Amino acid sequence: MNVSATLNAFRLLRNPSLCLPHATIPTFNDLPLPLSTAFGNAEVDIRAVVLDKDNCFAVPKENVVYKPYTDTFNALRTHYPPPHLLIVSNSAGTSSSDPFGTASSSLASATNIPVLQHSTKKPGCGPQILQHFLTAPGSRVTSADQIAVVGDRLFTDVMLANLMGSWSLWVKDGVVQSRNPFISWERKLPERMMRYGLKAPLPRLRR
């Protein structure tokens, strides 16, 4: 159970816009590089990327890049080499789902990208992510608005970005098309919400 998502869901009652993305792409292969170009604002300066794993660039429960996405994944790593690229998964790297770090070690080895070790699942691990980028040797990140979160889930990945004051890039169609009714409903939610004039909260640009 994702306690973090359950607790943070109450925030949506006060501010439903927290689950709306700043930009949307069909699949991971449609990732625009550099990511600063995705948000239609010349002042956006993306210096680091948080990357979801399951159904974003990998088949759920697998710790390797989905083969058709290999070229895009390598291009992303070229544009944002570590320490400016971090995988944050609610399976690999969490103390509840991966207590011995077996999955995170396998994933880091397969991708050559660090995997965040976190006790609080998304969307509640923003402080750990920001601390990572602010303190990592060689990092150019000085504020949350210089970070983009890429993922396929509104209530974890997108909400994480909005709670952090970062930019969210929603991958609408995952690697595997889910038959889960909730996932189908979630994919239609942003369009319905925007019909009522709701918009994603914009990060505060700090320079």
Entry pTM: 0.93
Lookup: tokens for 75: 């291009």
**Which residues have a Cβ under 8 Å from the Cβ of 150 and sit 6 or more positions away?**
28, 31, 35, 49, 50, 51, 52, 56, 157, 169, 171
CB neighbour class for 189 (10 Å; exposed up to 12, middle 13-18, buried from 19)? middle
Spell out the per-residue pLDDT of the chain, length 207, in tens. Answer: 555 556 666 788 889 999 999 999 999 999 999 999 999 998 999 999 999 999 999 999 999 999 999 999 999 999 999 999 999 999 999 988 899 999 999 999 999 999 999 999 999 999 999 999 999 999 999 999 999 999 999 999 999 999 999 999 999 999 998 888 888 888 899 999 999 999 999 998 765
